[in-house]
Homo-oligomer: A and B are copies of this chain.
Amino acid sequence: MGGENRKQVALGVDIGGTTAKMGYVDHEGNCLASGASVSTGAKQAPAVFFKRLHEAAEALRTGLPPGHEVIGIGVGVANGNYYKATIECSPNLGWDYVDVRAELGKYYAVPVAVTNDANAAALGEMLFGAAKGMRDFISITLGTGLGSGIVAGGKMVYGADGFAGELGHTVVDPDGRECACGRRGCLETYCSATGLCRTVQELICTTTTPSGLRGICYEQLTAAKVSEAALGGDALAKAAFEACGDALGLKLSDAVALLSPEAVIVCGGMAAAGDLILEPTRRALEKHVFPVFRNKVKVLASALPEGNVAILGAGALIWNELDTAR
């Protein structure tokens, strides 16, 4: 027990539909060791999964500097419930209900915190990234869907049931595109990697604009291909990004009216498109926002390294818990 000169680290775990990735994160947001992963694809009992997770984390720990101390574990996972530290009704993982704190408690005697991946990303931005020092902001993760995390007055907004922050399921058009949630016109059907590809199909249908994307079938289309085409000057691809940003800016204007954030931080795979998506988002937000908030709200790209956002976010979750408790 070295006391003050022990290097304190948090174990950050990001559990996805196919793999769980992990890394050790220090108080300054450095990822000291990462790269280990455990598959989640094959349906396996939670107890088996967490045993394998622990083994991989221990193996990874050998790469840490001597004298380190693991002070807590943060877990980011879709359908993660912060209040109960559980995973509930996760179709991707095939789990109905998992008490994450109990499972990890078999191997560790440190604090454990759980939340969904989008909230973890928001905390990563707050502690280590583009929202450092901000007390009010919205973080948006643009991946297959659109996840979001809301911080108000320096605190993560979890809501009454722990599931707050579903900007992706605010509605652009109640008669619009079918959404996996069973409704129509949710923002993520317009603004997300999938939403972008759907918009390309719409533009192929509604316009006569020539485009290299007309030669790619929907199943083969990806946001990266649309981005590449747009950067190469493809007008239809650019129009698709415009429409994507329009929808995001419109719904952000409502969120801003409710929350008055200092900034909106955009991360996730699609954020790599940079101003292709950020510029139309800014324009639409300024166009639609309640006048008192005009020219006040920054729209920023994530300042975290893309590959490590989820692990840093999970690490930030538990660092934030411990800092708040001090």
Interface residues of chain A, those whose CB is within 8 Å of chain B, are 134-136, 148, 150, 152-153, 155, 157-167, 169-171, 174, 181-183, 186, 250-251, 253-255, 257-262, 288, 290-293, 296
Known interface pairs A290-B181, A291-B181; A259-B169 also in contact (CB < 8 Å) = no
Please tell me if the beta carbons of A164 and B260 are within 8 angstroms of each other in the complex: yes
Known interface pairs A169-B257, A258-B259; A293-B163 also in contact (CB < 8 Å) = yes
* A245: min CB distance to chain B, Å: 15
| Complex contacts, A250 vs chain B, CB 8 Å | 171, 174
| Complex contacts, A261 vs chain B, CB 8 Å | 159-160
The 10 sampled A-B contact pairs (Cβ below 8 Å) are A152-B153, A152-B157, A157-B258, A158-B260, A161-B292, A164-B259, A170-B253, A171-B253, A174-B250, A186-B290
Please tell me if the beta carbons of B169 and A290 are within 8 angstroms of each other in the complex: yes
How far apart sit A253 and B169, CA to CA, in the bound complex (Å)? Answer: 9
Please tell me if the beta carbons of B158 and A155 are within 8 angstroms of each other in the complex: no
Please tell me if the beta carbons of A159 and B163 are within 8 angstroms of each other in the complex: no
Which of A157, A158, A165, A262 has the most B CB atoms < 10 Å from its CB?
A: A157
Please tell me if the beta carbons of B255 and A166 are within 8 angstroms of each other in the complex: no
Please tell me if the beta carbons of A136 and B160 are within 8 angstroms of each other in the complex: yes
Please tell me if the beta carbons of B253 and A255 are within 8 angstroms of each other in the complex: no
| Complex contacts, A174 vs chain B, CB 8 Å | 250, 288
* A253: min CB distance to chain B, Å: 7
| Complex contacts, A167 vs chain B, CB 8 Å | 257-258
Please tell me if the beta carbons of A163 and B288 are within 8 angstroms of each other in the complex: no
Please tell me if the beta carbons of B260 and A258 are within 8 angstroms of each other in the complex: no
Q: Which 10 A-B residue pairs are closest in the complex by CB-CB distance?
A: A159-B260, A164-B260, A160-B262, A170-B254, A166-B257, A169-B290, A136-B160, A152-B157, A169-B257, A170-B257
| Complex contacts, A253 vs chain B, CB 8 Å | 170-171
* A255: min CB distance to chain B, Å: 6
| Complex contacts, A162 vs chain B, CB 8 Å | 260
* A294: min CB distance to chain B, Å: 10
| Complex contacts, A296 vs chain B, CB 8 Å | 160-161
Please tell me if the beta carbons of A254 and B160 are within 8 angstroms of each other in the complex: no
| Complex contacts, A136 vs chain B, CB 8 Å | 159-160, 164
| Complex contacts, A153 vs chain B, CB 8 Å | 152, 155, 157-158
Query: Nearest CB to that of A251 among chain B residues?
Result: B254
The answer, among B163, B171, B291, for a CB contact under 8 Å with A292, is B163
Please tell me if the beta carbons of A260 and B171 are within 8 angstroms of each other in the complex: no
How far apart sit A166 and B291, CA to CA, in the bound complex (Å)? Answer: 11
Q: A159-B260, A161-B296, A171-B250 are in contact. List 17 more A-B contacts (CB 8 A).
A: A148-B258, A152-B155, A158-B260, A159-B259, A160-B260, A160-B262, A161-B260, A163-B260, A163-B292, A164-B258, A171-B253, A174-B250, A182-B291, A183-B291, A186-B290, A251-B254, A258-B258
